[in-house]
Amino acid sequence: MSQVPVWFERKFDFTFPVEQYPNLCVRLRGTPARLEEMLSGASGNVLVGKTGNKWSAQEHAGHLLDLEPLWMARVDDFLAGGDTLTAADLSNRKTHEANHNARELAGILAEFRTARFRLVDHLRKFEPARFAGSMLHPRLKQPMRLVDHLYFVAEHDDHHLATIWEMIEAKGRLSSPGSE
């Protein structure tokens, strides 16, 4: 049984200081390295192995890549102004249809690193005051500052990294010598 909290049940308290945005940019920039490190020693069977209809570790990695356009669109929403952030496809159709298990992991990881660095590099151009701007998050139905959006993305990254780590650890225990 997974110990990782269900993402859609998470509640968020966006009360931390807006000055945390540099820390969040660093955290976001580090996600590709953490993902690569986590997946580096896993066998192909562990990477693409599925339990029931749940995503494999490689599909979770692909999902992180799949959401990069949404994260960038939301950053651009803050630039353009308006009331509500771009809505996510809550069915995750893109990930379900992508067939990430048939892809080379190295390609997924390289594309994710490129997309994530593009996002963080885009944020470096913003004036500090821009991170305090607020818009409504469509699913959470609560105001979210740009700095909160960065936190949300970082937490989403960590949710999937924790899930991947849990999967790899469980499969490692099942297949390690002497585990019978």
Closest CA to 107 of 46, 61, 43, 69: 61
Domains of the chain: 18-37+55-174 (1.20.120.450)
Per-residue HEC secondary structure of 138-172 comes to: CCCCEEEEHHHHHHHHHHHHHHHHHHHHHHHHHHH
pLDDT tens by residue, 107-145? 999 999 999 999 999 999 899 999 999 999 999 999 999
pLDDT tens by residue, 15-73? 899 999 999 999 999 999 999 999 998 999 999 999 888 999 999 999 999 999 999 99
Whether the Cβ atoms of residue 74 and residue 149 lie closer than 8 Å to each other: yes
Q: Which amino acid is at 170?
A: A
- Chain centroid to Cα 131, Å, comes to 20
